[in-house]
Amino acid sequence: MKNVLITGGAGFIGANFAHYIIKNNPDYEITIIDNLGYAGNIGSIKSIEDKIDFVKGDISDIELMDSLIEKNDAVVHFAAESHNDNSLISPWPFVQSNILGTYSVLEGVRKHKKRLHHISTDEVFGDLELNETSKFNENTPYNPSSPYSSTKAGSDHLVRAWVRSFGVEATISNCSNNYGPYQHVEKFIPRQITNILSGIKPKLYGTGEQVRDWIHVDDHNSAVALILEKGKIGETYLIGADGEKNNKDVIEMILSTMGKSSNDYEHVKDRPGHDMRYAIDSSKLQKELRWTPIYKDFEKGLEQTIDWYTKNQEWWKPQKDETEAKYKKAGQ
């Protein structure tokens, strides 16, 4: 497999995937399609621009996707509207990109008989109780809470149906919360780091007792690359690195790592329908494909991420004011 089409490759995880592949699989030819919506940033792939082909376009454009898929051997499908808070204000773009966009990708790989890896999220399973030890696994029933997670769940169902009904050669992965460079400042960790760098107090939703299972984006992407090469067609793999932390602890960790008092943050309005806890059991991926994460120390990964945002202010500053204005309007 040589020619790989990455959808959403100007976004956080897709851009990091392109960097990862260029470093680790130099025999791959990469094409990226991204519509450069608010979350797409061409600056995230600038340093590799001479090693990739970039197409500005929308994945729901069936003719465009058909022609791009025809020219490639495989599609890694990251493109999606990805932010829960936005989906609570305006769900339509989520239906459009996540459902109709995935339909268009599926019709392309069906017609041209190409390999697909579909990127999804642990949020399709809903949430877990705080006071239990169970984790999501490949057999956990779907029970999404938000417009975002329900459209991702819908996209997973479409992929499974195209595998079973039309013999499409696809795999799916559901990953937990990613952190690392090139993540939009609307997301929890970069928002707090860039708030501190901008002289704004970090913002914690509600009590901050909600738990997320953090994984470094490079660990997510090493798993995706492995599934693309060795994953069994039709299978789903859960990706996670045992990184459970509650939001209050993470905000305090960011503050103290950045030399601030750990209680120097504000409580703001909680997210409606806020999922309490996510946790991934990735033993299938570890046993069957022999995957292991590299970033086992969250504090170290967080320090590197803080360092990246500190040194790359020209990357995030243009997004910051608009993002904070949107949050202010929502009381967050």
**Interface residue list for ligand NAD (CB under 6 A):** 8, 10-14, 34-37, 39-40, 58-60, 78-82, 97, 101, 119, 121, 152, 175, 177-178, 184
Binder of ligand DAU out of 86, 155, 177, 305 (CB under 6 A):
177
Interface positions, 56-95, toward ligand DAU (CB under 6 A): 82-84
Q: Identify whether the C-beta of residue 78 lies closer than 8 Å to the C-beta of residue 220.
A: no
- Count the Cβ atoms, other than its own, within 10 Å of residue 233: 12
Q: Which does 76 bind (CB under 5 to 8 A by kind): ligand DAU, ligand NAD, none?
A: none
List CB contacts of 52: < 8 A, sequence separation 6 or more.
9, 18, 22, 30, 31, 32, 45
**What 3-state DSSP class applies to 253?**
helix
Burial class (CB in 10 A: 0-12, 13-18, 19+), 315: middle
Q: Taking CB under 6 A as the rule, does residue 174 contact ligand DAU? A: no
Q: Which does 97 bind (CB under 5 to 8 A by kind): ligand NAD, ligand DAU, none?
A: ligand NAD
- Count the Cβ atoms, other than its own, within 10 Å of residue 246: 17
For ligand NAD, give the closer residue by CB, 72 or 82: 82
Whole-number Å distance between alpha carbons of 156 and 178: 19
**Main-chain phi, psi angles of 210, to 5 degrees:** -65, 145
Q: Give me the residue whose beta carbon is nearest to ligand DAU.
A: 121
For ligand DAU, give the closer residue by CB, 31 or 155: 155
Q: Which does 10 bind (CB under 5 to 8 A by kind): ligand DAU, ligand NAD, none?
A: ligand NAD
For ligand NAD, give the closer residue by CB, 177 or 194: 177
Q: Identify whether the C-beta of residue 31 lies closer than 8 Å to the C-beta of residue 53.
A: yes
Q: Identify whether the C-beta of residue 237 lies closer than 8 Å to the C-beta of residue 281.
A: no
> Is 38 a catalytic site residue?
no
Interface positions, 130-159, toward ligand DAU (CB under 6 A): none
Q: Binding string, 268-307, against ligand DAU, x = CB under 6 A?
A: ---x------x-----------------------------
Q: Residue 306 corresponds to which tokens in the numbers above?
A: 């803080």
> Is 237 a catalytic site residue?
no
- CA angle 212/214/299 to nearest 5° reads 120
- Cα of 92 vs its chain's centroid, Å: 19
What are the beta bridge partners of residue 5?
Answer: 31, 75
**Which is the catalytic residue, given 123, 156, 186, 219?**
123
- Count the Cβ atoms, other than its own, within 10 Å of residue 87: 22
Task: Tell me the window of 15-23, 88-96, 186-194, 296-304 that interacts with ligand DAU (CB under 6 A).
Answer: 186-194
**Shortest approach of ligand NAD to residue 40 CB, angstroms?**
3
> Is 148 a catalytic site residue?
yes
Size of the site for ligand DAU (CB under 6 A): 20
Q: Identify whether the C-beta of residue 332 lies closer than 8 Å to the C-beta of residue 268.
A: yes
Whole-number Å distance between alpha carbons of 124 and 287: 23
**Shortest approach of ligand DAU to residue 67 CB, angstroms?**
28
Q: Which does 278 bind (CB under 5 to 8 A by kind): ligand NAD, ligand DAU, none?
A: ligand DAU
**Shortest approach of ligand NAD to residue 70 CB, angstroms?**
18
Q: Give me the residue whose beta carbon is nearest to ligand NAD.
A: 11
Ramachandran bin of 180, using left for φ above 0, alpha for ψ from -120 to 50, beta for the remaining angles: left
Binding footprint of ligand DAU on the chain (CB under 6 A): 82-84, 121-123, 176-177, 187-188, 191, 203-205, 208, 210, 212, 247, 271, 278
Catalytic residues: 122-123, 148
